[in-house]
Amino acid sequence: MTKDVKVLGPGCKRCQTTAEMVKTEAERLGVAIDLEKVTDYAAIAGYGIASTPGIVVDGKVVHAGGLPKAEDIAAWLSA
């Protein structure tokens, strides 16, 4: 089953790093993901976060603000 993952962020360096980390973890775990970067401010705000980068997995916000930890990404992807 493909997981729908969105990385929320206006395109700052941390947001790109976060997207790369998600990709790397997904490959390591062998989880199929559909990764989308959301850069539109209105769309980002619609998810209810106040700091970026944010991560949304299957429609649920799991992280906001700062770089996530690799272990946490793995946990979100395999949940």
Residues that bind other proteins (CB under 8 A): 8, 10, 12, 41-42, 44-52, 61-69, 72
Following DSSP, what letter does each residue of 1-59 receive, concatenated?
--EEEEEE-SS-HHHHHHHHHHHHHHHHHT--EEEEEE--HHHHHHTT-SSSSEEEETT
Q: What's the CA gap between 38 and 70, in Å, rounded?
A: 21
Q: Shortest gap between Cβ of 34 and other proteins (angstroms)?
A: 21
Q: Which is nearer to other proteins, 4 or 41 (CB)?
A: 41
| Chain centroid, CA 27 distance in Å | 14
Question: Nearest distance from residue 6's CB to other proteins, in Å?
Answer: 14
Shortest gap between Cβ of 3 and other proteins (angstroms)?
16
**CB closer to other proteins, 20 vs 30:** 20
Q: Which is nearer to other proteins, 31 or 62 (CB)?
A: 62
